[in-house]
Structure 1
Amino acid sequence: MEKVEIVIEENSVGDRIDKAISTLNGEWSRSQVQQWMKDGQVLVNGRSVKANYKCVLNDVIAIEIPEPEALDVIPEEMDLEIFYEDADVLVVNKPKGMVVHPAPGHLTGTLVNGLMAHCKDLSGINGVLRPGIVHRIDKDTSGLLMVAKNDLAHESLVNQLVAKTVNRKYKAIVHGIIPHDYGTIEAPLGRDQKDRQSMAVVDNGKHAVTHFNVLERYKDFTFVECKLETGRTHQIRVHMKYIGYPLVGDPKYGPRKTLDLGGQALHAGILGFEHPRTGQYLEFEAPLPTYFEQLLEDFRNNR
């Protein structure tokens, strides 16, 4: 068990203890810290406190970080929509509502569970919980993902992502009518200081660029295509909110009064990359999900 000690400085005075710890570390979520506190693994000046304890200057916080669980990911037979597969790489169309890879406390029903049942050979570079996973899309985003079946393929695909040569285009429906046909959003992204479970445009965030073009306009909404130049967490969702056009159905970044779609109207429709072994350029396009097509049809009929 790893032990960590933190001393509260002036910029954290008055903060809740759970917020202060997660902010100072940046890797731990507030819910994770709160669980450690419940388990008696966090002491302030040698004594237990509640999560709403307000920090005082020079408080000494001692944290015992538990060892990570040894986890086995169980293969599960699933009806996966495979667009392409060979000995090196696989392209799959992930449905809305499916998590890409397992996490502690959520070890079944993920894309990785299905992939492990479908094929036994996945790259081990990302460890036991994310075998073969090179990039991911959010649970409630549908669309195409490339999966590495060996380490050579994994390294090649990651290098292409870093070099920004992978072609990733998404379809989205946003609130509001975007007046211009094209645009580029360049704004750095990082953890939202007010909500560590969310991302936001922040001064010291990671470089992030999204290009978009308008496909159709409706009475109160716009249908757009977004092309990722970088691939930050929640990038399209945060960038579109930042310019005043949040995604329809987005429970985290959308307006309070949005459509109840069970998640954001966002689909990773086009994926193009060089084959890691042959160098041949491959590109795939996944059609819009049925709910997405129906939503567009409803908007067209109410212009």
Structure 2
Amino acid sequence: MKKTQNSLKKYIVAEKYADMTVEDYLKSVMKISSRTRQRLFRSKNVFLNGSPVHTKRKVKGNDLVAVKDFSDNSYGVIPQIGPVNVLYEDEAVVVLNKPANMLVHPAGQTDRFTLANYLAGYFKDKGQLITIRPIHRLDRDTTGCVLFAKKAEYQIELEKQLKNGSIYRIYKALVMGVGIEGDFPDGCISKNIGRVPGKPNRRQADDNGKPAVTHFSLLDVIGQNSLLELWLETGRTHQIRVHMQYAGYPVVGDKMYGTPSRLISRQALHASEIVFLHPITGEKIHVTAPLPADMQHCIDGINAKV
């Protein structure tokens, strides 16, 4: 084997995995993503007992499987020093509390001043080279919990949880109007969401769109507004905001799907909690983000007028 000891990740095959193909072993046991597996096999950087091997070769108990270690060699974004509010961090993940008026990750012509740039700066300041891997995103003006993985294998596991619905994202929203619990007594809004023709950044309730399900419970009535707790069964773009508009209870301050407010400069929507299974231990992790000051100020302002 010409590769150096330090450049390879090595596994001894357990008997229970005998007769599995090398590709399936990389996928199921070593938790290597599809893209990375393709890269490894194309570059002949998968070895079985010291020799390069193809995808369909079967392994036996006590075989030595080795692959090139594609360790992180860049942050993936430009590191910048900026606001980083860490809600939870360990060797596998970090959960940040995103402020308003900030993208989670560079998009379009934007390559700086995002949460990802500031997290890269945070890691760089600590002397850590970690590629930035957001598991989900929030709208620019939605605040709260955002989960990042620190390694590719943890990203794969967490994205699997996101896809199968075992990551729970809980939101708080102040919406216009009262009586939503009477209009939707089961606490569920189920309506497809699709794009608005000619407006690529906007969504609408659309029978021909993709299925979207939002659950909610009423926390409080504040003047002529309702404070809701919501959790998502699906993760469509602008899902809560579109569903609230569709239901007739737009989010307070939502300029796109409702009307501006003098009490808050953005939509009053906050990702208050996230619950996931730790990608290493399987332990349930529950992280919360306090209600941001501008939403509390908005609530206090409404109460003052009542």
Q: What TM-score, normalized to structure 1?
A: 0.70
Give 2:145's aligned amino acid.
L
In percent, how many aligned pairs have the same letter? 39
Pairing 1:237–2:274 present: no
2:206 matched to which residue of 1? 202
**Aligned residue-pair number:** 225
Distance across 1 between alignment mates of 2:290 and 2:95:
14
How far 1:194 sits from its partner (Å)? 5.2
Larger radius of gyration: 2
Distance across 2 between alignment mates of 1:84 and 1:258:
32
1:214 matched to which residue of 2? 218
How far 1:262 sits from its partner (Å)? 2.4
Q: Secondary structure at the match of 2:302?
A: helix
Specify which of 73, 82, 85 is matched with residue 81 of structure 1: 85
Pairing 1:280–2:279 present: no
Give 1:300's aligned amino acid.
N
2:292 matched to which residue of 1? 289
Contact 2:194 2:203 in 1 (8 A): yes
Q: Secondary structure at the match of 2:94?
A: strand
Distance across 2 between alignment mates of 1:171 and 1:122:
31
Distance across 2 between alignment mates of 1:122 and 1:132:
9
Q: What TM-score, normalized to structure 2?
A: 0.70
Query: Could you list the per-position Cα deviations for residues 70-126 of structure 1 after superposition, in whole angstroms to 9, with x for gaps in the alignment?
Result: xx7320012311111122111111011111111232111101101111224445xxx
2:303 matched to which residue of 1? 300
How far 1:189 sits from its partner (Å)? 1.0
Specify which of 249, 257, 261 is matched with residue 253 of structure 2: 249
Query: Could you list the per-position Cα deviations for residues 155-208 of structure 1 after superposition, in whole angstroms to 9, with x for gaps in the alignment?
Result: 111111111111111011111112527510111111112533201111221111
Contact 2:180 2:249 in 1 (8 A): no
Contact 2:88 2:94 in 1 (8 A): yes
Distance across 2 between alignment mates of 1:287 and 1:80:
15
- What is the alpha-carbon root mean square deviation over aligned residues? 1.9
Distance across 2 between alignment mates of 1:92 and 1:290:
17
Could you list the runs of 5+ residues in structure 2 that have no partner in the other structure? Answer: 1-75
Distance across 2 between alignment mates of 1:104 and 1:244:
32
Give 1:234's aligned amino acid.
H
1:127 matched to which residue of 2? none
Query: Could you list the per-position Cα deviations for residues 188-236 of structure 1 after superposition, in whole angstroms to 9, with x for gaps in the alignment?
Result: 1111125332011112211111001111112221111111111111000
How far 1:241 sits from its partner (Å)? 0.4
2:197 matched to which residue of 1? 193
How far 1:245 sits from its partner (Å)? 0.4
